[in-house]
Amino acid sequence: MKDQGIARRRELKVGAVIAALFSLLVTLTGLSAVFEPQSALAAGNELGETVEFTPNYDFADIPQGSGSYADKGNIIWGGNGGSDNGVTNKKSNVGFAWCIDLGLRTPADAKNLIWDKSTAQKLTPANIADTTKDTAHGQERYDAAYKMITNMINSWKAGKYDEAKKYNLYAQALLGNPTAQGTAGEVINSNGQASPQAGTYSGVTPGEFTDLTGFKAMAGGPSVFDHAIDFKAPEGSYLTYVPPTLPNGKVAVNQAQRMVPPDQPGIKPEPKNPVIKTKASLDGDQVKAGAKVVDTVSYEDLIPGKEYTLSAQLINKADESVVGEGSAKFTPEQASGST
């Protein structure tokens, strides 16, 4: 009986140990389930497919202090790899670019973070919701943002800095996280005057924003889809941006601004529809053998800086015979003009 009692106590101890182990396993399993969202969140800190672009380091002198040129299209200094007198992190090297997350820190404000050109990312209709959280109208939002970024860069290149600044604000109201969109929305709904932090903007109206983008700007929240616009971004296009990263290479999500550089390899050039017209006249008042004919050429939608060759024939109206011909090369400085 004594041996049976000892055996019984051993069975109870073994059972208790098994029960404890089972309880621990259940607890650990529960802990695993609790920590899964953290793993999913960490995945959002990883870089995606990278893309190459050429930084612009020479647009202007390096701006000190805030690193911003509010009077030059709101363009921001993003570093040149260490030789900017400490304006940015010495590893930041994206040059001049625009911020698209209004209200978050800039490279000059967040020297603990890095904006590295080698980490540049592609923004597409497929991933635009990662930041904007708009899962219902990703394509429409991308189309509108593509249009605003293109307008911004074209205006900046043309020296129309107030327009570039306005389009930058409109892009921020489309591309930022919901909070940043709301910050931009406040400025838009105040006709560009709401935020001392963001500065003032010329020509900004909520009506124009909706007409151009198809979205309504909301103060304090994300922009809301209103209607489809008559514009579609080209198939296969993408917007290039540089995210802020931590020293360990992880993306510093919602800690600072993403930067959009002027060089956008994913923006497709608009198709050209060149028009060339000529007007021939005599050099003098009399028609005679050997007279010099002056041909004035007017043109539209040519590519500035590209060499063109013009060939012409002088036709006799009576019998349509060729009585003279010539050719000349020219390089237009602007898309439209005359020579």
User: Do the Cβ atoms of 240 and 117 come closer than 8 Å?
Assistant: no
DSSP 164-228: HHHHHHHHHHHHS-HHHHHHHHHHHHTTT-S-TTT---SS--HHHHHHHHSEE--TTS--EE---
How do the domains of the chain map onto residue ranges?
A: 1-43, 68-260, 275-338
User: Do the Cβ atoms of 278 and 295 come closer than 8 Å?
Assistant: yes
Ranges in the chain, pLDDT < 50: 1-43
Token representation of residue 51:
């893309």
User: Do the Cβ atoms of 330 and 337 come closer than 8 Å?
Assistant: no
What is the helix (H) or strand (E) element at residue 33, kind and residue range?
helix 2-43
For residues 75 and 160, give the distance between their C-alpha atoms in angstroms, rounded to a whole number. Answer: 13
Query: What pLDDT digit, counting tens, does each position of 282-336 carry?
Result: 555 555 556 666 767 787 777 665 667 777 776 777 777 876 677 777 777 666 7
Q: What is the CA radius of gyration of the chain?
A: 31
Q: Is 42 helix (H, G, I), strand (E, B) or coil?
A: helix
pTM greater than 0.75: no
E-only strand ranges, the chain: 68-69, 75-77, 96-99, 121-123, 215-216, 224-225, 239-241, 259-260, 275-282, 293-300, 308-315, 322-330, 337-338
For residues 284 and 296, give the distance between their C-alpha atoms in angstroms, rounded to a whole number. Answer: 15
For residues 104 and 276, give the distance between their C-alpha atoms in angstroms, rounded to a whole number. Answer: 49
Note the maximum CA span of the chain: 143
pLDDT given for residue 20 in this prediction: 42
> What Cα–Cα distance (Å) separates residue 169 from each residue in 76, 95, 102, 240, 259?
13, 20, 8, 17, 13
For residues 67 and 95, give the distance between their C-alpha atoms in angstroms, rounded to a whole number. Answer: 11
For residues 35 and 43, give the distance between their C-alpha atoms in angstroms, rounded to a whole number. Answer: 13
DSSP classification of residue 118:
G
160 exposure class (CB count in 10 Å sphere: 0-12, 13-18, 19+): middle
3-class SS shares of the chain: helix, strand, coil, % to 5: 30, 20, 50
